[in-house]
A and B are shown apart, each in its own frame.
Chain A
């Protein structure tokens, strides 16, 4: 059983650019959630995808968008990068459904916006 993987590990962009982060969910999981973790803070929920559909969104502007593929891997896209977007971006996968299931986090992508 493979765990949650994310790529790239680190990324440096300049203000105004666009970025795509990728997440491969754990085997058998059909739900992916994305979080933003600023330095010294707790993760902030961005959105969740369940079976390729958005299934909840946090308080983030529309320039944060996502996608989930038929193999349940996922992308997070951020347009018009701002300095405050510098953070660790975490994805977590779980088996969605009518019962509670633990979410497993990847190691994150560290994004620096200059």
Chain B
């Protein structure tokens, strides 16, 4: 059973556009929802994270929107830049112990 489902698998966005990646989770006990960015040959790096007691968190050009009742959360990248081209993973965790990752979205920002 896949605990976290992520879509789309790949995304092409023009420079300056908005990139949107969606995730859905099953376990209502999850209490931490991070997004990771991974470049080729590197390990994932934390981009932004949210707790379920808030509906939105913004850090610079990156925003997480969280819908607890729908068990969904999404990452919005505003003013997307070619340097944002990477693979993005959503994840969910309970008590910061086991992390369940989505399958990833490969983002390509065209100049």
- B residues less than 8 Å from A70 (CB atoms): none
On whether the beta carbons of A107 and B42 are closer than 8 Å, the reply is yes
Q: Mark A53-66, 1 if CB is under 8 A from B, else 0.
A: 00110100000000
Q: Mark A1-34, 1 if CB is under 8 A from B, else 0.
A: 0001000000000000000000000000000010
CA distance A101 to B99 in the complex (A): 13
Min distance, Cβ A16 to any Cβ of chain B, angstroms = 28
- For chain A, the bracket of interface size reads 20 to 34
Partner of B104, one of A41, A92, A104: A41
On whether the beta carbons of A45 and B43 are closer than 8 Å, the reply is no
- Could you tell me which B residues sit within 8 Å of A by CB distance? 4, 6, 32, 36, 41-46, 49, 51, 89, 91, 96-104
- Could you tell me which A residues sit within 8 Å of B by CB distance? 4, 33, 35, 40-45, 48, 55-56, 58, 90, 92, 94, 96, 100-108
